[in-house]
Amino acid sequence: MRQIKISILFIILGTTSLFSSCSYERSGTTGWEFNNTANGGFEKKPYEEQETGPGLILIEGGSFTMGRTEQDVMYENHGTPRTATVSSFYLDETEITNHQWCEYLYWTGRTFTDFPAIYKKALPDTLVWREKLAYNEPYVEYYLRHPSYRDYPVVGVNWLQANNFCAWRTDRVNEYILIREGILVLNPDQQNNPFTTDAYLAGQYKEGLNEAGQMPDLDPSAASGDRARDMGVRNVRMEDGILLPRYRLPTEAEWEFAAYGLIGNTVDGRITERRIYPWNGHWVRNPDDKWQGDMMANFVRGRGDYMGIAGNLNDNADVTAPVISYWPNDYGLYNMAGNVSEWVMDVYRAQSTEDFAEFRPFRGNVFKTKVLNVEGVISDKYEEPIYDLDGIKQYLIDFKAEREGSIDRRHGYEGRENKADELELALFNAIDIQVVDAFKLRKDKQHAQAAEKIKEIEDVFFTINDSIQGIEGYDEYELEIIPMLREGLSEFVLNTPGNVKMREVTTEENIKRRNYRVADNIDALDGDLRSSVYYPGGSMGQTMIAGINSETKNEDWVMYQSGRDESLAGARSPTTLVSDKSRVYKGASWRDRAYWMNPGTRRFLSEELSSSAIGFRCAMDRVGSPVGLGSKRK
């Protein structure tokens, strides 16, 4: 009898569970059911926490002392210590390798078949290895592509290229996730129309959709039939929690915080030992019995000593080392001291540590928003590359001046003496006309209040030869400058097909905002117009400066101006080596002394330049709980 009662009890419990599983979760605000098409279909998806992207490690955030911890031997006084807080985020375990970059190059070359300039722009500058009085040609030829170096950090990559890699990685990872979840099917043939995360979210990527695996649209207005149960389908939305945030460069504060790895020195909210390097102590050698005396990183120990003594190469590297080398810090990050220095997002300013916000400090904000068409929906994505016409024009002027000087030197300053020189001049004139025409078209479109449709210049690299085909005697000469121009002009590709159009925010749409008004906040509190003596009301605000009426708010006359102002009869304008294109890079490299291994040190380089000693790693925002699974650390 007892066994029968127990069986009946299980049946009752099972039946109750069955009925309860068919019910919908209700809103604690309105009482209406979620995920129910019958009442409108507002959705609440099951979600635990953010998926960890490939190659990433969670860096639990917190407060730390950012800035100088070592003697300022360079006397630069640009790292004033201050307390700041960094949110939890993800960071690559290692620097980006040559093999990873070659994967990027392969995808770029295979995808943008009609736009070779995009591939050329992605190529690292392998010539950074060259030195006037050193034999480094083997690195020029082999370092990037030879399998012996596939796990070594990529170098010769400038800041702009590093950001392009991060964008590419974001799209490839999210595309893979959608394929894994059955939303997309494999679509390797994306010639000139690749998948991008923003285009997909905007509903502008239609290729490769798996009709059987699309998300059901519970909105009854999207139903495919007369009955609400004939549901429509929709794209994945951000609310579904399937797509990952963007890969990006870390901020200076994030990189410095992660490099110290102070999580290993924390006891009950106290940091027991502040570090000089990413490890404890004042020494650069390992104190462990097993590895005692071995170098903790790859750096220069003294004048001319890059690798130690034969038979005891205790850093086992002459230039860079494989990215998984030496010992990781307490977060599990490799080579946060040595190997290569690393790009970060920030624009350099000497006093940034004094001006930074206390929470998530960063300098370099240029606020943007998606371009909307006249109907108020996101404008169509780019279908052709967008070029920096101003940059191309200036490049052509500089290139032509250098070339004419070279010709004059070759001919003893007697001018052009052969047909090839005349052809070169004709070539420059043809390209000049093409660029001028592009400027006119862009101006017309702006006049028509359609600034988002800026003229997309034709692929210059396909038309160079065509522009001089009609010149008599052309076939008799090989113009060596054409490959140079193709290579140089490729640097001015601003945007690629598949990307959603973006623009900077305007003051008009921010009239009632208190936290910001303008888009570009790079110069905030340090070099902005209101901080300049040339701003009306300043110490020189009501005077005539070098013939310029300072009552006019001239945005060009700012504290960090650089270059020559031709309007002043050759007089040099106030200048420093710092501009809005100066980007911070952190840490020591294989070419540096131990001083630079302190994470608080900082240096800068123009975002357009690269080095044999600078690489990078990617970061990603952590959304939600800083420790995972929505829990609080006990």
- For residue 201, what is the enclosing H or E element? helix 197-201
Q: How much is the pLDDT for 410?
A: 64
Domain boundary among 495, 511, 545: 495
Domain boundary among 475, 495, 515: 495
Count: domains in the chain: 2
What is the rounded CA–CA span in Å between residue 174 and residue 269?
37
Q: Is residue 526 part of a domain?
A: no
Q: How much is the pLDDT for 131?
A: 95
Same domain, 424 and 478: yes
Same domain, 122 and 257: yes
Same domain, 316 and 445: no
Same domain, 394 and 318: no
Q: Is residue 505 part of a domain?
A: no
Dihedral sign (CA 556, 558, 563, 567) = positive
pTM here?
0.86
What is the rounded CA–CA span in Å between residue 187 and residue 619?
27
Same domain, 23 and 80: yes
- Whole-angstrom CA distances from 567 to 390, 391, 529, 551, 564 are 19, 20, 20, 18, 9
> Cα 550 from chain centroid?
37
Q: Is residue 21 part of a domain?
A: yes
Q: Is residue 369 part of a domain?
A: no
Same domain, 144 and 25: yes
Same domain, 395 and 351: no
Residue 464, SS3?
coil
Q: Is residue 556 part of a domain?
A: no
Q: How much is the pLDDT for 171?
A: 97
Q: How much is the pLDDT for 355?
A: 87
pLDDT along the chain (634 residues), means of 10: 40 39 80 89 89 95 89 80 94 98 97 89 96 96 96 97 98 96 91 93 89 86 54 87 96 96 87 89 88 90 89 88 95 95 95 89 94 89 81 81 72 58 72 68 46 44 58 61 80 89 91 88 74 50 40 48 47 65 95 94 94 98 83 49
Same domain, 170 and 290: yes
C-beta separation of 340 from 95 below 8 A: yes
Same domain, 312 and 410: no
Domain boundary among 495, 510, 536: 495
Q: Is residue 630 part of a domain?
A: yes
Q: Is residue 511 part of a domain?
A: no
Same domain, 145 and 261: yes
CATH label of the domain that carries residue 307: 3.90.1580.10
> Which amino acid does the sequence have at 376?
G
Reported as a single tens digit per residue, the pLDDT across 134-172 is 999 999 999 999 999 999 999 999 999 999 999 999 999
Same domain, 100 and 181: yes
Same domain, 289 and 346: yes
Q: Is residue 405 part of a domain?
A: yes
Q: Which domain holds residue 22?
A: 1-187+242-356+581-634
Residue with tokens 């999210």: 174
Q: DSSP string of 128-156?
A: GG-BTTB--HHHHHHTTTSGGGTTSBP-S
